[in-house]
Amino acid sequence: MTKRVEERQRVVIRFAGDSGDGMQLTGDRFTNATAVLGNDLATMPDFPAEIRAPAGTVHGISAFQIQFASTEILTPGDHPGVLVAMNPAALRAELRSVEKGGTVIVNEDAFTQRNLEKAGYSSDPLQDGTLDGYQVFKVPMTSITVRAVEELGLSRKEAERSKNMFALGLVSWMFGRPVDVTLDWLHRKFGDKPQVFDANVAAFKAGHSFGETTELFATSYEVGPAPAKPGTYRNVAGAQALAWGLVAASERSGLRLFYASYPITPASELLHELSRLKNYDVLTLQAEDEIAAANVALGASFAGDLGVTGTSGPGMDLKAETLGLAVMLELPMVIVDVQRAGPSTGMPTKTEQSDLLLAMFGRHGESPMPVIAARSPSHCFDAAIEAARLAVTYRTPVILLSDTFLSNSSEPWLIPHVDSLPSIDPDFAMGPNAGREFLPYLRDERLARPWAVPGTPGLRHRIGGLEKEDGTGDISYDPQNHERMTELRSAKVDRIADDIPALDVTDPDGGAQILVLGWGSTYGTIEASAARVREQGRSVATAHLTHLNPFPANLGEVVRSYPKVLVPELNSGQLAMLVRAAFLVDVRSLTKVQGQPIYSEELEEMIVRMMDE
C-alpha cells in the first residue's frame, strides 16, 4: 500500500513507561536524530525519584517529552500530540495531558489483567471507551521485539529489554527521522557487546519496518528543518552546557577549575560531567558532605584555583555558613544551585524556582553576593562564564541558579567560537600595594581586594571570618569600621550593575501596555506565550533577567514605564517581592508550584485576562 506523508509545522511527543523501560534513553535518541535533521526542538525529561519504583505502578512512570518544529520554538510544549505508553500505568498517568484528538500508541502486550490492576484500572482502557476521541494504535511491542531478536539466543527477559528500541524505531518512521544517527550511536555505545548491539539494532529496525509495512499506520509525518543562523549546531542539555561553561571560564581566565561537590539530585550531573574532563586540567572532588564541598572549593580559591561547588536546595542550606565566610574572605567562588521542588527533601526530581530569596538573603548577618540565573539549557553555558567572570573580577562568591528543568532539558545550540567568549583577568597580586607593605583589604576602583595566593613571595597575610579592619584586614571590633565594611561589601556588589548589560525589552509592536518580566527557566514559556498573544494582534512586552543581584541599572525605569507588569515564576512570588521592594511598583504574579513548568497557554490566558481588565 502507499502511505500518505503529511507535513506538520510542529509536533509534541511524550514517551512514557516504567522507570526501568529506558524511556529517557529513547527520548534522548529521538532528540538527537531530530536535532541532526535541523528541526528546532526543546525537551523535558520527567522522572520519579525512585530508581526503580515497583514495576507497573503509576508512581514509577518515567516520561520524556519533546517538541520539534520547522519554526522557532522555545518550550517542550504544553500538551503532547503523540503519547507512546509502554504499559497501562503510563497511559493512566499521562493520558490527561494529551491534546484532544491526539495520537496514542500503546504497547498492547503490557495490557494484561495484572498490569491493569497495578495501574489502578478496573476495566481495560483499550476496550471501555476511555480512549474515544483519540487516534489509538495498539501495537504488540513486546512480542514483536522478542520475535525480532529470537535468533540471538537471549533470555526472554533480555530480549524484552529492547522494546524501547522498537518503540523508537516505530516513532522514528512515523516522523521521518534519520535511521543512521541512531544506528551509529548504537554502534558507539554497544559496539563492544555484539549481542546487545545486535538485539537493539534488530528491535529498532523491527519498529521501523512495522510502521512502514503494516496497514495499521497509513500516514507518516514530515517536519522540515527550522530556519536558523548559519553555523555549526549541536544539541545540548543544561547540565552539560553549565559544566562546559565552567571549563570555558577556566580556559578564558587561565585558572584551573576545581569543582567540589556532594552527590545530590539534580546537581550530580555536573559532578559526573566535570569528572570526565581530567584532561582539561579540571580537578573534581566528591566531598564527605555539602559543607566540606563548599569549604574545599573556597580553600582551592584561596590557593589560586577557580573554586566551584554545586548542589541543590538542601545542600544550599548546609553551605550557607561557608558562603558567609566567602563573603568575608572576599575570594572568587561560584556556587551552582540546581533548584528543585522544596522545602526539605520535597520533590527531588521536579523543577521549581523557589531558591531566589534563599540565594539573596539566606545567610546570617548582611552578606550580599551576586546572583545570576540561566534562562535556557544552552544559556547555562553563558551564565556559567558570567558567574565566573563576576566572581574573579570582584573577588566574591557568586550564586548561579539553574533548575531541574534546565538541567535535564535540551535544545539546539549554535556552537560559539572560543575566541569570541569573554576573557577573564585573575589579576593576581604580585607585590606590595601600600608602599613596601601588602594590605589584603586595600580595594581597587571596583572595590575588589587583591588576590594574593600562597607561594607569592612577600605577600603573606591572614584572612578569616572575624570582621576585618578596612584596608589592613586585621581583626577589628571597632563599631564604625564594622558599619563601613558592611557598606563596602554591599557597595561592591551593587557596583556590578555598571558592568552588566541593561535589561533588554522586547516590544516588537511598540506601545505595549503590559510587560511580562521573568527570570530563569520560564524564559521559553514567556516568549512562547507572548508570541501567541502577538499572533492575536495584541501587544505585549517581555523582558528577562539574568542578573538578579544586582539588578540591571535600568530595571526600575523599565518596570515603571508599563501600566501593568506581570511576573510569572515557579514559586509563590519571589521576584515579584524583590521588584516591589526595590521599585515600589505594583507588579502582579503568576505563580505555579506543581513541580512542572508553566504552560504557555496558562501564561497566555493570564496576559489576555490582565489586558482585558
Q: Rule CB under 8 A: which of 408-467 touch other proteins?
A: 415-416, 418, 426, 428-430, 453-466
Chain-centre distance for alpha carbon 207: 31
Among the listed ranges 65-73, 283-291, 481-489, 524-532, the one in contact with other proteins (CB under 8 A) is 283-291
416 secondary structure, DSSP code: P
Please calculate the CA angle 241-246-251 and round it to the nearest 5 degrees: 120
| Min separation Cβ 49 and other proteins, Å | 25
Q: Which is closer to other proteins, CB of 187 or CB of 580? A: 187
Rule CB under 8 A: choose which of 329, 356, 531, 533 binds other proteins: 329
Q: Which positions from 159 through 188 interact with other proteins, judged by CB under 8 A?
A: 181
Candidates 167-175, 316-324, 368-376, 502-510 — which segment interacts with other proteins by CB under 8 A?
A: 316-324
Cβ proximity to other proteins: between 96 and 229 the closer is: 229
Q: How far is the CB of 330 from other proteins (least distance, A)?
A: 12
Residue number with CB closer to other proteins (245 or 520): 245
Q: What is the Cα–Cα distance from 172 to 178, expressed in whole angstroms? A: 7
Q: Which CB, 199 or 248, lies closer to other proteins?
A: 248
Q: How far is the CB of 58 from other proteins (least distance, A)?
A: 34
Minimum gap (Å) between residue 262 Cβ and other proteins: 11
Pairwise CA distance, residues 353 & 402, whole Å: 8
Residue 604 burial class via C-beta count within 10 angstroms: exposed 0-12, middle 13-18, buried 19 and up: buried
In the complex, minimum distance from the CB of residue 465 to other proteins, in angstroms, rounded to a whole number = 6
Q: How far apart are CA 329 and CA 441, in angstroms?
A: 9
Q: How far is the CB of 258 from other proteins (least distance, A)?
A: 6
Binding mask 284-303 for other proteins (x = CB under 8 A): -x-xxx-xx--xxxxxxxxx
The piece of 304-312, 349-357, 389-397, 555-563 that touches other proteins (CB under 8 A) is 304-312
Of 290, 388, 391, nearest in space to 331 by CA: 391
Among candidates 321, 357, 365, 361, which has minimal Cα distance to 339?
A: 357
Can you tell me the distance from the alpha carbon of 588 to that of 583, in angstroms, rounded to the nearest whole number? Answer: 14
User: Does 36 participate in binding other proteins (rule CB under 8 A)?
Assistant: yes
CB of 314 to other proteins, least distance (A): 16
The cell numbers describing 166, all together, are 522498537
Residues 6+ apart with CB under 8 A from 65: 12, 13, 14, 15, 27, 43, 44, 45, 46, 76, 77, 80
38-57: contacts with other proteins (CB under 8 A): 38
> Which strands make up the sheet holding 306-311, listed edge to edge?
282-286, 257-261, 306-311, 333-339, 397-403, 371-373, 547-549
* Between 466 and 502, CB nearer to other proteins: 466
> Closer to other proteins at the Cβ: 419 or 498?
419
DSSP for 56-109 reads T-GGGEEEEEEEEESS---SS-SS-SEEEESSHHHHHHHGGGSPTT-EEEEEGG
Angle between helices 313-329 and 290-302 (to 10 degrees): 30
Contacts of 75 (CB under 8 A, 6+ apart): 42, 67, 524, 525, 528, 597, 600
User: In what order do the strands lie in the sheet containing 541-545?
Assistant: 505-506, 541-545, 514-519, 564-569, 588-591
Instruction: Map the footprint of other proteins across residues 210-229, applying CB under 8 A.
Output: 225, 228-229
Indicate which single residue of 113, 155, 232, 420 sits in contact with other proteins (rule: CB under 8 A). Answer: 232
Q: Which stretch binds other proteins (CB under 8 A): 7-15, 35-43, 98-106, 504-512?
A: 35-43
Q: Which three cell numbers stand for residue 605?
A: 490566558
User: Could you say which residues in the range 536-555 bind other proteins, by CB under 8 A?
Assistant: none
Smallest gap from residue 512 Cβ to other proteins (A)? 32
Number of residues that bind other proteins (CB under 8 A): 73
* Sequence-ordered alpha helix ranges (H) in 495-572: 523-535, 555-560
Instruction: Give me the least distance between CB of 210 and other proteins, in Å please.
Output: 25
Min. distance of Cβ 172 from other proteins in angstroms?
15
**Closer residue to other proteins, CB minimum distance, 255 or 590:** 255
Looking at beta carbons only, is 457 or 511 nearer to other proteins?
457
248 counts as binding other proteins under rule CB under 8 A: yes
